[in-house]
Amino acid sequence: MDFEPSQRCSEFKERLSAFMDEHIYPAEDVYERQLRDSGDPHHQPAIMEELKLLAREAGLWNMFLPDEEHGAGLSNSDYAPLAEILGRSRIASEACNCSAPDTGNMEVLHQFGTPEQKDRWLMPLLEGEIRSAFAMTEPDVASSDATNIGLRIERDGDEYVLNGRKWWITNVFHPNCRIMIVMGKTQPDAPTYTQQSQVLVPLDTPGVTVQRNLPVFGYIDQDGHGEILFENVRVPLSNVISKEGDGFMIAQARLGPGRIHHCMRAIGAAERALEKLCQRAVSRVTFGQPIAMRGNIQDWVAESRIEIEMARLLTLKAAWMMDTVGNRHARTEIAAIKVAAPNVALKVLDRAIQVHGGGGVTEDFGLASAYAHLRTLRLADGPDEVHKLSIARRELAPYMPREERAVGA
Ligand SMILES: Cc1cc2nc3c(=O)[nH]c(=O)nc-3n(C[C@H](O)[C@H](O)[C@H](O)COP(=O)(O)OP(=O)(O)OC[C@H]3O[C@@H](n4cnc5c(N)ncnc54)[C@H](O)[C@@H]3O)c2cc1C
């Protein structure tokens, strides 16, 4: 593997880092203040729309999309270091139109959408005019096994009728959210992996009721996580993505790049937490010495550096394999980073919180909310255990009796 960033990547990194220094970091407090002053936790602060214009002007827009025409044309390896930089601030990804779940939804529409679906939904998403949600998880079934997903999508004339309940649907409280990609069962009697389909459902379709916002450790996220009831929701047959029965195939296709993005953002958050840890440790004095002089604190600093480097290199390896041998052959690495990166970031954040004392659990240093957010990454997009299961199955396969090898291969 070649660890040298390409010239293109280095050039983007330099411009993005300068943009973070000049515009994003100084806007963080403004964003929080505007959000707080509005009295609405889902308000879109004016500063965000200003940042979006600046990011566009700076050519730091849709960097996630490998397509040359609509995105920056960057490979996974080129984009990964940029996702790390974006992960340093909770407002950077949206400012650059690179935030989940829109990125995955745009990739899906770009790859599988019909010309009409692209015109109607992909273009405004690429322009940053609207936002979107991805609705798979259901409260009534263990959704980390996607074969359990039960929302019914039934044909009726030239329409689909949707009935069921979803939860943890990120973004539906964002004031700009207009469209959901909904996964459900069209053919319950088909073979297991062709029972599901994905359909486009505008948020304002009659029968869609967003019943409540789900807080994360008590935090109300600005984009929100909705529990949604679908009652006789009707959309035209032309809203199916790809074709009926392709739900699993599409879900698989969206996962690889999304995981690289999540993991590199987590590493960016870990780097920033380590910076804060070090700054605090050299400036606080106890018992006649800066905290940084204590052996255990130096051990935490060293462990953090080692773990961050390991997670970054593993993630870059996964990105490089996706670029060179394809997502299928990178399955073990993609699953591995999804476990490794959030856990490393959580460890570093936990140490940073400890070094900040009581201040660490307030919102004064941004550590507590970052911890809460990163903790959800051990669940969202598949819990750790499921990714470990898929790694272990491939690792064990050569030692299994021949007839059992196919299971989970
Ligand atoms: C902040 C946040 C945002 C989210 N955003 C979205 C979104 O936008 N759209 C969406 O559709 N979903 C979203 N989710 C849902 C998320 O993807 C699911 O919570 C996750 O896939 C797990 O599904 P579940 O909650 O049904 O857990 P379950 O499937 O009930 O699993 C519960 C636990 O069982 C254990 N477990 C499961 N399988 C195994 C196994 N094989 N071996 C050992 N242990 C196992 C794991 O510890 C797991 O955490 C989000 C979740 C969070 C917290």
Lining residues, ligand 1, CB within 6 Å: 101, 134-137, 142-144, 168-170, 216, 225, 376, 379-383, 385-386, 389
Residue with tokens 């025409």: 69
pLDDT band with cut points at 50, 70 and 90 for residue 3 = confident
Position 129 pLDDT exceeds 70: yes
Residue that wins the pLDDT comparison between 19 and 258 = 19
Residue of the CA atom closest to atom 48 of ligand 1? 383
> Which amino acid, 265?
R
At residue 252, the pLDDT reads 86
At residue 18, the pLDDT reads 98
Kindly report, residue by residue over 135-148, the tens digit of the pLDDT.
999 999 999 999 99
- Tell me how far the alpha carbon of residue 376 lies from the centroid of ligand 1, in angstroms: 9
Residue that wins the pLDDT comparison between 401 and 309 = 309
Helix/strand/coil for 53? helix
% pLDDT > 90, the chain:
92
- Tell me how far the alpha carbon of residue 312 lies from the centroid of ligand 1, in angstroms: 24
- Range 26-39 average pLDDT: 97
What is the maximum span of the chain, computed from C-alpha positions, in angstroms? 79
The pick from 103, 136, 140, 144 for probing ligand 1's pocket by mutation, whose C-beta has the most ligand atoms within 8 angstroms, reads 144
Residue of the CA atom closest to atom 28 of ligand 1? 142
- Tell me how far the alpha carbon of residue 382 lies from the centroid of ligand 1, in angstroms: 5
d(CA 409, CA 405): 7
- Three-class DSSP labels, 280-296: HHHHCEECCEEHHHCHH
The pick from 141, 143, 173, 259 for probing ligand 1's pocket by mutation, whose C-beta has the most ligand atoms within 8 angstroms, reads 143
Contact 166, 227 (CB under 8 A): yes
Position 406 pLDDT exceeds 80: no
pLDDT band with cut points at 50, 70 and 90 for residue 408 = very low
At residue 407, the pLDDT reads 52
Residue of the CA atom closest to atom 36 of ligand 1? 385
Kindly give the pairing relationship between strand 131-135 and strand 159-170. unpaired
Residue of the CA atom closest to atom 49 of ligand 1? 383
Kindly report, residue by residue over 156-194, the tens digit of the pLDDT.
999 999 999 999 999 999 999 999 999 999 999 999 999
At residue 402, the pLDDT reads 78
At residue 254, the pLDDT reads 82
pLDDT band with cut points at 50, 70 and 90 for residue 215 = very high
Residue that wins the pLDDT comparison between 258 and 102 = 102
% pLDDT > 70, the chain:
99
d(CA 248, CA 220): 31
Residue of the CA atom closest to atom 44 of ligand 1? 385
Kindly report, residue by residue over 324-349, the tens digit of the pLDDT.
999 889 999 999 999 999 999 999 99
As a dihedral over the C-alpha atoms of residue 354, residue 359, residue 362, residue 364, rounded to 10 degrees, the angle is: -120
Residue of the CA atom closest to atom 32 of ligand 1? 142
d(CA 198, CA 405): 30
In 172-237 the beta strands, taken as DSSP E runs, fall at: 177-185, 196-202, 208-213, 225-236
**Which atom of ligand 1 approaches the CA of 145 most closely?**
29
- Range 28-40 average pLDDT: 97
Position 219 pLDDT exceeds 80: yes
Residue of the CA atom closest to atom 17 of ligand 1? 380
Residue 214 is classified by DSSP as P
- Tell me how far the alpha carbon of residue 378 lies from the centroid of ligand 1, in angstroms: 9
Residue of the CA atom closest to atom 16 of ligand 1? 380
The β-bridge partners of 202 are 179
- Tell me how far the alpha carbon of residue 9 lies from the centroid of ligand 1, in angstroms: 34
- Tell me how far the alpha carbon of residue 68 lies from the centroid of ligand 1, in angstroms: 34
- Tell me how far the alpha carbon of residue 386 lies from the centroid of ligand 1, in angstroms: 9
- Tell me how far the alpha carbon of residue 383 lies from the centroid of ligand 1, in angstroms: 5
- Tell me how far the alpha carbon of residue 116 lies from the centroid of ligand 1, in angstroms: 33
At residue 20, the pLDDT reads 98
At residue 405, the pLDDT reads 64
Position 71 pLDDT exceeds 90: no
> How far, rounded to the nearest angstrom, does the alpha carbon of residue 57 sit from its chain's CA centroid?
25
- Tell me how far the alpha carbon of residue 139 lies from the centroid of ligand 1, in angstroms: 10
Kindly report, residue by residue over 250-289, the tens digit of the pLDDT.
998 887 788 999 999 999 999 999 999 999 999 999 999 9
Kindly report, residue by residue over 343-373, the tens digit of the pLDDT.
999 999 999 999 999 999 999 999 999 999 9
- Tell me how far the alpha carbon of residue 132 lies from the centroid of ligand 1, in angstroms: 20
- Range 317-323 average pLDDT: 95
Residue of the CA atom closest to atom 30 of ligand 1? 142
d(CA 54, CA 48): 10
